[in-house]
Amino acid sequence: MVFTKYELEQELREFMVGLARSTERVFGSDCGGALLGLPGRGAWHVEPSEALVNNSSLWQAVLTMYDYGIGGQPHPSFGASGDVGNQYGEAEMFLLGLDSMKLFFEEDDVHVPTFAQRTVRTAVARHLLDGGERYITRDEDEMAGYLSFAEVALLADMDERSVRNAANPKLPDALVTKNFGRRSMIAIEDARRWLSSRKGFVPTRGAPAEPQIAAPELSSLTVPYEIVARVSESARNANLSTAEFLAQLLDKHQGDMQ
């Protein structure tokens, strides 16, 4: 399912040339060449191989997001200490907004760059998995710290239906979900746990799959399987992630002690 960086580059280059040609249809016959780094030339007279698009903000952002999102290469703009604003947030908004312009592009047989769209979606999903925050906010604040089925599917390199099937509570290693109205979401820590055993998942280099336990007396603790199974089942029945369920147990225990 994963495409190569070369395939991404080819698709993106052809789209950017097509975009410049379609732009000329609206703004005039001399503006497209400038978008391709060749001012004074009409876009219809520029072949994709001639276009000087490699230095554009869009090109650089998408290729960086490929290395991070799909390749798992760490980058200072992503993760818990990163900020996906500026060119990366702009690339996300631009590429995901192209679907609404398909009718316009069809006039010139320009195809929306689906590889590039998947690239930015995957990079954002990994950014969230690594502790970052969304740049584009579509949901309520209560959904912060959660991934959608589609985002987990991108990280696992699986189709979304298979990921939804993995949330069946009857499975021994079921993906834990939480409902927000009619939407089901996956807590970050549960996504990390589940993804760590998926063949198609590429971990971020240098990033732990699970948060590390700081207390040395707990680091060697062995929990019997039946206890783990009971906790997981109780968390699912309560429609909570495992971490949320344990946190509630601790809060209740502390309240009873007071």
Name the packing angle between helices 242-257 and 188-195 (round to 10°).
Answer: 130
Give the integer Cα–Cα distance in Å for 87 and 243.
34
Are 147 and 125 in contact, with CB atoms under 8 Å apart?
Answer: yes
Name the packing angle between helices 114-129 and 57-69 (round to 10°).
Answer: 50
Largest CA distance in the chain: 78
Q: What are phi and psi of 48, to 5 degrees?
A: -55, -35
Q: What is the pLDDT of residues 89-110, one digit of tens each?
A: 899 999 999 999 999 999 999 9
Q: For CA atoms 192, 69, 117, 7, give the dihedral sign.
A: negative
Paired tokens of 37: 């780094």
Q: Which residues have C-beta within 8 Å of that of residue 92, sequence separation ≥ 6?
A: 84, 120, 124, 135, 136
Q: CA–CA distance from 32 to each of 96, 114, 119, 195, 214 (Å)?
A: 22, 22, 25, 44, 56
Give the integer Cα–Cα distance in Å for 197 and 191.
10
pTM summary value: 0.77
Average pLDDT of the chain to the nearest whole number: 84
| Confidence class for position 253, pLDDT limits 50, 70, 90 | confident
Give the integer Cα–Cα distance in Å for 151 and 187.
12
**pLDDT at 212 > cutoff 50:** no
